[in-house]
């Protein structure tokens, strides 16, 4: 990995955060402005270490999102850009398709609303009956469904690795293992200091810090009532003998009263099948394990008025998510609604992920992409799913925003 030397301290643009949005932004900026001096600073020893490297690798179609929203627009455009990049640069992906399953007649109205959204967003999708569902997913149980043939799978960490190679070949600078400690904007320049004492100056800074985006924004002087609340998503994986229960992607009709999609089955690009996730409060922003606790981060979260109001609103659903975290049988019960044949011996533990969920002080979740700006510092405050699918188009938007006076 190409890194900076001590003599290289002055840049046109510095990007803080080396997840998929940060890497894609570097790539798009470099393509647009090949003569600009760019630096990406990442606190870990590799790119895509956190949210990007700990998801199930779905290429989303855009079927769920409100027409006209940034989610819908970026997902559709970003998906095409992602697939084009993968074809041109040899990144393995597969358009395997997914089914969204209505397990009862009561779910059909909500399913139809999702289908209508998909059609309005330009998604290739089809309402299917029980027989057609069995043809696509023989072990799935449902009275009807939506088939989305253009949904796909990929390893986003591999995608980021190829982005990094392209960046390096074009002379881009990536600094790993350096945590940003201070961002001090002035009229002409932004001063960036790392925890280890390195100091840089840039004309502009882009905050793509993911789970720490609100903290980095605060360091740059952009005060906001919004705060990142970390939710851990826990997974199981099907054993080799049980992989035949799932051909591709099986999703439920999401509960309209809960902001997450619910447990589902995802065939991964490496051939494994992930089952999950649930959604429970993580006790640290990088709390991938149940016992990983950062007391300061946990206290900050529990005392935040927005979280208190959110927990009061969703306490019953939240208790169910916690119970599924503690009880494998409860997790299996949720999975068996979609695939009744699933048994305890069919599942083995799989690594968890953590989702950065932006929450307003009034307790509402920030549902769409959200940017803020403080002078020469642009903050990507919220980049929820489908950020990975949409990353190349989000990067285009960021490139346009950072170019504005």
For residue 259, the model assigns a pLDDT of 67
CATH 3.50.50.60 segments of the chain: 10-52+157-226+367-403
For residue 7, the model assigns a pLDDT of 55
Q: Which residues pair with 354 in a beta bridge?
A: 232
Question: Which residues, 6+ apart, have CB-to-CB distance to 26 below 8 Å?
Answer: 15, 38, 40, 163, 167, 172, 174
Contact call for residues 168 and 1 (beta carbons, < 8 A): yes
Residue percentage of the chain with pLDDT more than 70:
97
**315 three-class SS:** helix
Chain segment 189-203, per-residue pLDDT in tens: 999 999 999 999 999
Q: Which fold is adopted by the domain 10-52+157-226+367-403?
A: FAD/NAD(P)-binding domain (3.50.50)
For residue 261, the model assigns a pLDDT of 80
For residue 76, the model assigns a pLDDT of 98
For residue 257, the model assigns a pLDDT of 65
For residue 6, the model assigns a pLDDT of 42
Look at 6 and 399; give whichever has higher pLDDT: 399
Band of pLDDT at residue 380, cut at 50, 70 and 90? very high
Chain segment 114-173, per-residue pLDDT in tens: 999 999 999 999 999 999 999 999 999 999 999 999 999 999 999 999 999 999 999 999
Closest of 386, 359, 372, 400 to residue 72, by C-alpha: 386
Residue percentage of the chain with pLDDT more than 90:
92
For residue 150, the model assigns a pLDDT of 98
Q: Number of helices (H) and strands (E), helices first, in the chain?
A: 11, 20
For residue 199, the model assigns a pLDDT of 96
Residues 87-109: what's their mean pLDDT? 97
For residue 5, the model assigns a pLDDT of 47
The yes-or-no verdict on residue 2 having pLDDT over 80 is no
The yes-or-no verdict on residue 338 having pLDDT over 70 is yes
The yes-or-no verdict on residue 8 having pLDDT over 50 is yes
Spatial distance between the Cα atoms of 253 and 358, rounded to a whole number of angstroms: 23
Chain segment 343-369, per-residue pLDDT in tens: 999 999 999 999 999 999 999 999 999
């Amino acid at each position: 990995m190409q890194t900076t030397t001590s003599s290289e301290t002055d840049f046109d643009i510095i990007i803080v955060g080396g997840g998929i949005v940060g890497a894609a932004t570097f790539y798009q900026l470099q393509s647009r402005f090949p003569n600009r001096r760019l630096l990406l600073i990442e606190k870990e020893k590799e790119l895509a270490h956190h949210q990007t490297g700990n998801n199930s690798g779905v290429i989303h179609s855009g079927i769920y999102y409100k027409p006209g929203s940034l989610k819908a627009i970026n997902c559709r455009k970003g998906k095409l850009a992602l697939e084009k990049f993968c074809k041109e640069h040899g990144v393995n992906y597969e358009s395997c398709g997914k089914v969204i399953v209505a397990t009862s007649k009561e779910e059909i109205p909500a399913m139809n609303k999702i289908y209508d959204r998909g059609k309005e967003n330009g998604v290739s999708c089809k309402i299917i009956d029980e027989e057609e569902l069995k043809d696509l997913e023989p072990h799935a149980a449902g009275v009807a469904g939506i088939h989305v043939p253009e949904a796909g799978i990929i390893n986003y960490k591999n995608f980021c690795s190829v982005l990094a190679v392209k960046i390096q070949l074009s002379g881009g600078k990536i600094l790993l293992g350096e945590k940003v400690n201070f961002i001090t904007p002035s009229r002409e320049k932004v001063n960036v200091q790392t925890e280890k004492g390195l100091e840089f100056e840039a004309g502009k800074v882009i905050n793509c810090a993911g789970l720490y985006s609100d903290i980095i924004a605060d360091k740059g002087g952009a005060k906001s009532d919004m705060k990142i609340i970390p939710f851990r998503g826990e997974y199981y994986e099907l054993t080799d003998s049980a992989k035949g229960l799932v051909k591709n992607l099986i999703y439920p009709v999401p509960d309209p009263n809960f902001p997450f999609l619910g447990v589902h089955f995802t065939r991964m690009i490496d051939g494994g099948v992930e089952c999950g996730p649930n959604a429970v409060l993580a006790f640290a922003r990088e709390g991938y394990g149940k016992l990983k606790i950062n007391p300061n981060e946990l206290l900050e979260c529990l005392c935040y008025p927005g979280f208190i109001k959110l927990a009061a609103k969703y306490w019953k659903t939240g208790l169910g998510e916690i119970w599924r975290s503690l009880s494998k049988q409860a997790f299996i019960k949720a999975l068996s609604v979609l695939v009744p044949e699933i048994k305890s011996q069919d599942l083995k533990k799989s690594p968890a992920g953590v989702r950065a969920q932006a929450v307003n002080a009034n307790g509402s979740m920030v549902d769409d992409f959200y940017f803020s700006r403080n002078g020469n510092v642009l903050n990507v405050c919220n980049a929820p799913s489908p950020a990975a699918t949409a990353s190349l188009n989000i990067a285009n938007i960021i490139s346009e925003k950072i170019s504005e006076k």
